[in-house]
Amino acid sequence: MADIVQLEEKGNLLYPKTHTSAIDGLDETLVKKTGDEDIAGVKNFTSVPQINNVPIAVDKGTVYKEITLDSTVNANIKSGYIRLWRIGNMVIVGSYLTITGPVRWVNVAKIPEGFEPHSTGSFGISYGSTGGEQIPATLYMAGSNFRVLTTSTIPSAEYPFQGSGIYYTEKEFPS
């Protein structure tokens, strides 16, 4: 067993309890393995932090995709887009759509690789209309596509719709 050497600083003997203060550049307090503590400042982890042995959601960063809707799939779709942000295993969806009449169960875009949901049946966005009337419209998923469904009573005027939602995926993180 190694001997414990008593340290001295400015003529004062330091005891084991105060040895950390004898090391230049080491703060008086250290982060403890147990107990509650407040830790100030930005900490840059070089590996994925975990909570109860589960990696936290920001382990792979963020990926953004924007899909411009194909207005040729339905004569009543004038324009629109779907924006997807993948953060860890969560996907945030924002969508905008301008239509000129009813759209019934139309595939408007393919779900990009790496953004596929864990369950397509668990996702749907109720669109809000910024037009004069509140007309029901929904963006949902079926198979590997985003689909749009509106009421059959949309006037022929242009109606802008927008909405947002979130879903979970277990797919490999896209590059």
19-72: pLDDT as tens digits:
555 565 555 567 777 888 888 888 887 877 788 887 775 556 788 899 998 778
End residue of a domain, out of 35, 58, 81: 58
* Whether pTM exceeds 0.85: no
50 with 119, same domain: the answer is no
91 with 11, same domain: the answer is no
91 with 134, same domain: the answer is yes
pLDDT at 166: 95
Q: Which 3-state string (H, E, C) describes 67-116?
A: EECCCCCCCCEEEEEEEEEEECCEEEEEEEEEECCCCCCEEEEECCCCCC
| Domain harbouring 133, CATH code | 2.60.40.1830
Judge whether 165 and 133 are in contact, CB under 8 Å.
no
pLDDT band of residue 15 (cuts 50, 70, 90) is low
pLDDT at 86: 92
Is it the case that residue 82 has pLDDT exceeding 90? Answer: yes
99 with 153, same domain: the answer is yes
16 with 74, same domain: the answer is no
34 with 46, same domain: the answer is yes
47 with 83, same domain: the answer is no
pLDDT band of residue 4 (cuts 50, 70, 90) is low
2 within a domain of the structure (yes/no): no
78 within a domain of the structure (yes/no): yes
22 with 39, same domain: the answer is yes
144 within a domain of the structure (yes/no): yes
Between 107 and 135, the more confident residue is 107
pLDDT at 91: 94
* Mean predicted confidence (pLDDT) in 1-22: 65
**CB neighbour list of residue 154: distance below 8 Å, 6 or more residues apart:** 76, 99, 100, 101, 102, 135
Q: Which residue has the tokens 């169960």?
A: 105
pLDDT band of residue 157 (cuts 50, 70, 90) is confident
152 with 100, same domain: the answer is yes
pLDDT at 147: 92
124 within a domain of the structure (yes/no): yes
Judge whether 105 and 149 are in contact, CB under 8 Å.
yes
- Domain of 137 in residue numbering reads as 60-168
Number of domains in the chain: 2
